[in-house]
Amino acid sequence: MAPTLEKAFDLRVYLDKDTTVRLGTVKGGPQRTYAPVGPGGYLRGSGVDAEIIPKGADSVLVDMASGTAHLDVRCAFRSKEGDNFYLYYTGIVRLDEKLGLLFTFSPEVQTTKSSDHYFVTTPTIEVSNEEHKWMERTVFVSHGHVYVEGDRLAVEYEMYKLVSG
């Protein structure tokens, strides 16, 4: 029997335009962008309500030839109860016009739906509280979209846990 997916979390990560570093072409090919995460993001669901600690970053390697972005994101969250969560994920984004507006922080960027894009990640979570240790033994997959709130830009994900059998 094939594994199934079960909704586990909603994740929102705001991007900090003012401290984003664009390295341009690196290693003779792809373009690297380093975007620190801003305050206000969260991880919610499965008994967790945690706010992002704005010290993480989204490192994006864009291959313009294939129109693909490779994500490497690392960030931490803390719940009101003091539980700590470290989340890191890699992912693949097939660039389209709407996502191009996000990656350039265009004023024309608009909120999208996850079904608008191929924007897929494989998150891994480390936790401080024994109650949540199941997350360290679980495979997650998520799909994302653009979220615009005033002049702030974010990526928002629906995270699913893989259920076997």
- pLDDT for 115 equals 95
Query: What percent of the chain shows pLDDT beyond 90?
Result: 67
Q: For residues 145, 148, 153 and 157, what is the CA-based torsion angle, rounded to 10 degrees?
A: -30
> Could you tell me the two tokens for 126?
């480390």
- pLDDT for 54 equals 86
pTM of the model: 0.91
- pLDDT for 53 equals 94
- What phi and psi values does residue 131 have, to the nearest 5 degrees? -60, -30
- pLDDT for 118 equals 96
Residue ranges in the chain whose pLDDT is less than 70: 27-28
Q: Contact, 44 vs 8, CB < 8 A?
A: no
Q: Across the chain, what does the average pLDDT equal?
A: 92
